Amino acid sequence: MKLSQGFRMSWHSILANKLRTFLSMLGILIGVATVISLVAMGQGSSNEVEKSLQSLGTNMLSVNIMGRGSVTTLSLDDAVHLADGIEDIEGVAPIVSGNAAVKYGTTESASVSVEGITPDYETVKDFKHQSGRYIVPLDVSNYSRVALLGVNTAADLFGSEDPTGKTVLLNGVRFKVVGLLEPKGSSLGGSNDDKVLIPITTAQRLFQSAGIRSISVKVAEEDKMAAVVSQIEAKLAELFRGNTDSFNVFNQQDVKDTMSSISKTMSMMMAGVACISLVIGGIGIMNIMLVSVTERTREIGIRKSLGAKKRDILVQFLIEAIIISGMGGLAGIGLAYAACYAMTHYFEMATEIKANIISYSFVFSAAIGILFGIFPANKAASLKPVDALRHD
Amino acid sequence: MREHAASGSGDVLISIRDVRKAYRMGSEEVTILRGVNLEIRQGDFVAIIGPSGSGKSTLMNVIGCLDTPSSGSYTLDGMEVSGLSDNKLAEVRNRKIGFIFQSFHLLPKLSAIENVELPLIYRGLSNKERREAAVKALQQVGLDGRMGHRPSELSGGQQQRVAIARALATHPPILLADEPTGALDTRTGKEVLGLIEELNSAGHTIVLITHDLEVAARAKRVVFMNDGILTEERGDGREAVARVQNVMAQHSGQQA
């Protein structure tokens, strides 16, 4: 028998048994579609996590000062000079933060996060302004009542109006808006766009807090992080006279590592679920293939009695299995794309389909389909025709 | 082996000598054929008769190369068949034997002509040759008007004709019919039998297996199978059947 003839015979048989073909394909289709979309979901959420981690900055340290009791905290001067004598520090940004009600005219915004900063904040946090000007050293030394607005806060208060030059009230105190920050999205600490930045000295007055409780430190290189952390700790220990409970130095890389490992675990879990569904899909394929070949033993007997060799039977079943598995697999990939599209557009879930997952699941399902199409067919084709014919 | 005046005049096609067949059923060995000898010549029309369980189906399976004997020699058209590989046997079935089964054994999803073409596919003929041969075979059985119909759309008699056309399409030296009328009503059974007779007069060698003595009476030669042993009946089908009927009557008389 020629191969082209075998192909035609198989195609004929596939078309002649639509229900059987459909059921065989269904197992593969569901297996492939489930795996691809589950892994795509896992990948999507891990991408999301990755994105929000990116905004943390990898070379950032944050120093938190708890102080001894309520009195002893770091003074602004100490904070600004924290980096002195330590190499590889690119910038230090002490921050005084609090919440304040912001009011413009009659429009009052709910409580907004207000941060008192030094000009270094811009480089340390990599958070620039898009119009107007930034906080300058003179603002800090003069206790100026000037403010930079985050984009959301500006939109809340001014709508489409340009806020620069306008006057807002922070907890009833008048501040002149000198600039508008660029949009930055949200990071772990909350939205960066619902924010007001004012000079640090002004903030100390506004919130009536003398000490500095939070300092962001930017390290020059990522691999110097550990060294810088220990030097800062040593310096702070000296300042607090050995009381290491009064402060902690928080390495953002640690957070990032933790988050990555969580997201990795999630992905692994998704992949595990996907594997299980692939196996279940495989069992489905196996069942329908086994049943269909058993059902076709008589057909095999008839074909053998008419002169079909074992090889002819196997070629026919192999081609059938390849076509069914292939079509099922392709339909599964299509379904997975549709499912991911639906998840992204209707449920706003992030998904990312990876090419290697497509090929793994396709190859796996197709291999199962072919294996379990061929294995029982081989058994039936090895029967003596008389035994196969007797099969009802 | 004796020569038989009533048998065909041509060359020896089938020569079976001391063929035995035993099955293992569980721990017991059941002997079905106990040393069968049979010679069939070109142009013969042989009926193998016998009660059910006598081993005639097993003999037919051996003749048709659907089953292999446990021992003994079987020469088909000058070729020793016992001991051939599976693949060789498939080729022998394809080239030497046309099967006509009791339950037709047509593939339900294929049309009449596709069913007839099936053995030709396995022979490796081109599309055109195949179609020509299949059409010719269907014409021969008077079914050229229903080539595109599936078996389920044909009557029992028509299905058996398709099966006969399928057997004829490869021009095998031997047509092997296992109870060809068993699943048909009397009238269509007679028609099919008439067709088989015609084929015999056209020169086809026919081996027919039946337990129906009326069917056997149409054959030129009758062999009687009982309990795994084959006995040749002298004379033509009609005489032989008459004798067998006597024997069978005595048998049942004794049993009663």
* Structure confidence at residue A73 (pLDDT): 73
Strands, E assignment, chain A: 60-65, 89-104, 107-117, 129-132, 146-149, 167-170, 173-181, 186-187, 190-191, 195-199, 214-219, 247-251
Predicted confidence (pLDDT) per residue in A34-50, tens digit: 888 888 888 888 888 77
Helices (H), B80-227: 86-96, 112-123, 127-140, 156-169, 186-201, 213-216
C-alpha span between A20 and B62 (Å, rounded): 35
Contact criterion met (CB < 8 Å) for B93 and A2: no
Rg for chain A, CA atoms, rounded: 34
Residues in Cβ contact with A156 at an 8 Å cutoff, skipping those fewer than 6 apart: A107, A109
Predicted confidence (pLDDT) per residue in A304-339, tens digit: 999 999 999 888 888 888 888 888 889 999 999 999
Higher pLDDT among residues B235 and B5, named by residue:
B235
Q: What is the mean pLDDT of residues B88-97?
A: 93
Find how far residue A200's CA is from the centre of its chain: 35
Contact criterion met (CB < 8 Å) for B122 and A303: yes
Residue B4 has pLDDT above 50, yes or no: no
Would you say B70 and B23 are in contact if contact means Cβ atoms under 8 Å apart?
no
| Phi, psi (degrees; rounded to nearest 5) at B176 | -115, 115
C-alpha span between A361 and A33 (Å, rounded): 9
Q: Is A330 on the interface with B (CB under 8 A)?
A: no
Rg for chain B, CA atoms, rounded: 18
C-alpha span between A177 and A168 (Å, rounded): 7
> Which range in A59-63, A129-133, A259-263 is most confidently predicted, on average pLDDT?
A129-133
> What is the H or E stretch that residue A35 is in?
helix A18-54
* Structure confidence at residue A123 (pLDDT): 85
For CA atoms A248, A252, A257, A259, the dihedral sign is positive
Residue A241 has pLDDT above 80, yes or no: no
Contact residues, chain A, for B63 at CB < 8 Å: none
Rounded to 5°, the CA angle A246-A250-A251 comes to 155
* Structure confidence at residue B1 (pLDDT): 41
Q: How far is B69 from chain A (nearest CA, A)?
A: 12
Contact residues, chain A, for B129 at CB < 8 Å: none
Amino acid symbol at B51 = P
Predicted confidence (pLDDT) per residue in B121-155, tens digit: 999 888 899 999 999 999 989 888 899 999 999 99
ipTM of the complex: 0.88
Would you say A320 and A374 are in contact if contact means Cβ atoms under 8 Å apart?
no
Higher pLDDT among residues B120 and A125, named by residue:
B120
Contact residues, chain A, for B106 at CB < 8 Å: 302
Q: Is A125 on the interface with B (CB under 8 A)?
A: no
Residues in Cβ contact with A375 at an 8 Å cutoff, skipping those fewer than 6 apart: none
Range A21-26 contact pairs with CB under 8 angstroms and sequence separation of 24 or more: A21/A324, A23/A288, A24/A285, A24/A288, A24/A289, A24/A292, A24/A324, A24/A328, A24/A369, A25/A324, A25/A327, A25/A328, A25/A331, A26/A284, A26/A328
* Structure confidence at residue A110 (pLDDT): 75
Predicted confidence (pLDDT) per residue in B22-44, tens digit: 988 888 888 999 999 999 999 99
Q: Is B66 on the interface with A (CB under 8 A)?
A: yes
Q: Is A305 on the interface with B (CB under 8 A)?
A: yes
Q: What is the mean pLDDT of residues A42-65?
A: 78
Q: What is the mean pLDDT of residues A248-264?
A: 80
Q: What is the DSSP string of B81-107?
A: -TT--HHHHHHHHHHHEEEE-TT----
Q: Is A231 on the interface with B (CB under 8 A)?
A: no
Q: Which two tokens stand for residue A372?
A: 């379990």
The region, left, alpha or beta by phi > 0 then psi within -120 to 50, assigned to residue B55 is left
C-alpha span between A289 and A321 (Å, rounded): 9
Q: Among all chains, which residue has been given the structure tokens 């379990």?
A: A372
* Structure confidence at residue B2 (pLDDT): 43
Contact residues, chain A, for B170 at CB < 8 Å: 307
* Structure confidence at residue B65 (pLDDT): 92
Q: Is A18 on the interface with B (CB under 8 A)?
A: no
C-alpha span between A373 and A22 (Å, rounded): 14
Contact criterion met (CB < 8 Å) for B93 and A303: no
Q: How far is B209 from chain A (nearest CA, A)?
A: 16
- Percent of chain B surpassing pLDDT 90: 48
Higher pLDDT among residues B232 and B142, named by residue:
B142
Range B235-244 contact pairs with CB under 8 angstroms and sequence separation of 24 or more: B235/B6, B236/B6, B237/B47, B240/B216, B241/B49, B241/B213, B241/B214, B241/B216, B241/B217, B244/B49, B244/B213, B244/B216
C-alpha span between B190 and B205 (Å, rounded): 19
pLDDT band at A16 (very low <50, low <70, confident <90, very high): confident
* Strand-pair partners of B25: B28
Q: Which two tokens stand for residue B255?
A: 């049993």
Q: Which residue of A has its CA nearest to B88?
A: A309
Residue B98 has pLDDT above 50, yes or no: yes
Q: Is B124 on the interface with A (CB under 8 A)?
A: yes
Select from A89, A366, A73, A381 the least CA-distant residue to A224.
A89
Q: How far is B95 from chain A (nearest CA, A)?
A: 8
| Phi, psi (degrees; rounded to nearest 5) at A67 | 80, 170
Q: What is the mean pLDDT of residues B85-94?
A: 92
Q: Which two tokens stand for residue B132?
A: 């020509």
Interface test with B, best of A292, A305, A384 (most B CBs within 10 A): A305
Q: Is B159 on the interface with A (CB under 8 A)?
A: no
Q: Is B87 on the interface with A (CB under 8 A)?
A: yes
Interface test with A, best of B32, B59, B61, B103 (most A CBs within 10 A): B61
Nearest CB among A12, A298, A306 relative to B119 is that of A306
Q: Which residue of B has its CA nearest to A386?
A: B66
Higher pLDDT among residues A272 and B251, named by residue:
A272
Q: pTM of the predicted model, to two decimals?
A: 0.69
Contact criterion met (CB < 8 Å) for A305 and B99: yes
C-alpha span between B112 and A161 (Å, rounded): 84
Nearest CB among A13, A299, A307 relative to B93 is that of A307
Q: How many C-beta atoms surround the C-beta of residue A270 within 10 A?
A: 21
- Helix B86-96 to helix B112-123 angle, to the nearest 10 degrees? 130
Residue B3 has pLDDT above 60, yes or no: no
